[in-house]
Structure 1
């Protein structure tokens, strides 16, 4: 059973997420909270996943995120936001959030996104803006620069990077491409080093901006080779 805590300042949002997730197999919302109580509730309940509103009037989501990241075994955290261009998203990702969700995420997708988080994957709204991608720490500033960084990866590392961006955990990636979890872990470490990023979320964002996920360049071997 995946244990979830939902943190939001709006009671309607909390109850809506609770209703949707409790109807899904293998997921239980063990508590909901507003910002001021969030860290204490998460410390007490020890959930696997926390869905955390990024903007709250009493204690904002970034403050809560900092507090729960200090716990011995912090949950996987996805930030909840109304705007895909929210300026706080990158700060949350730097602080250790495993992704972000728009509050208008389709209900039928929500349970699977929570399962992805619980398995150690990353989740990002498909509406992520180019403004957010351009703000990626360590970004080269142009798509060509990002493609050049992705081109440092081996073919197998690019395969792993695409699956990271799809939200798969190391174990799921290993199952998909027939590698041990240890080998996948080594590939992930190499990917982060070569891309000069510090997290799976940042690697996924860079891969999207470089066109690796939509196939623009990488779907055409001739185009890809011409960049080398």
Structure 2
């Protein structure tokens, strides 16, 4: 079972998301709480995945994210937002969130996204990703991002391309005829060379550099 905590300031949203996820069968929502209770409850329940509202009146979602990321063994965290152009999303991704989802995500897709997160995945709502990628668009931005990728070997660029397309380490290994552990080593090297902390940051950089056309597929990834 995948252990999940849902954090949202609205009780109706919390209960609705919990109901949808529990219906999946392989997901156990161990707590559904407001921002004020989030850090304490997550410390007690030790979930695999946290779905965290990015805008809450009692405690800001970015503050909770920072507190969770400071834990010795932090859970995987995806931000929840109502807006497809939330300016806080970019900050959350730079701060270590594994992705973000719109609250009106299709129920089946929501469960799929939680499974992907539990596997160490990057999950980006394609609809919400568009404004973030557009905000970094432009020839100067693309040239700068492409220049940053010059530190990577050809094999690392191959791996990054598949990371940005949403594949897991196992799937990347299957495509490139590598073991998952070797792919993980490549991803670690990519993050180190690019000076990044998370896979989602590298994926967004690949998008800005024009390494991948279109939007992120919205699914997979692992550190």
- TM-score normalised by the chain length of structure 1: 0.82
Match of 1:105 in 2: 105
Given the superposition, is the C-alpha separation of residues 175 and 45 from structure 1 closer, same or farther in structure 2, using an over 3 Å criterion?
A: farther
Alpha-carbon shift at residue 107 of structure 1 (Å): 1.5
Given the superposition, is the C-alpha separation of residues 38 and 154 from structure 1 closer, same or farther in structure 2, using an over 3 Å criterion?
A: same
Given the superposition, is the C-alpha separation of residues 74 and 208 from structure 1 closer, same or farther in structure 2, using an over 3 Å criterion?
A: same
CA–CA distance in structure 2, aligned partners of residues 95 and 59 of structure 1: 17
Higher relative contact order (CA 8 A, sep 6+): 2
Task: Summarize the alignment of residues 59-74 of structure 1 with structure 2, pairs less than 5 Å apart.
Answer: 59-74=59-74
- The answer on 1:87 being equivalent to 2:87 is yes
CA–CA distance in structure 2, aligned partners of residues 199 and 164 of structure 1: 11
Residue by residue over 1:160-179, the C-alpha shift from the partner in whole angstroms, topping out at 9 and shown as x without a partner, is 22332244443443244331
Match of 1:192 in 2: 191
Task: Summarize the alignment of residues 1-228 of structure 1 with structure 2, pairs less than 5 Å apart.
Answer: 1-129=1-129, 131-133=131-133, 141-150=140-149, 153-214=152-213
Match of 1:222 in 2: none
Which ranges of structure 1 fall in alignment gaps of 5 or more residues? 217-228
Kept in 1, the 8 Å contact 2:96–2:197? The answer is no
Which ranges of structure 2 fall in alignment gaps of 5 or more residues? 216-223
- Answer with 1 or 2: which has the greater Rg: 1
Kept in 2, the 8 Å contact 1:121–1:164? The answer is no
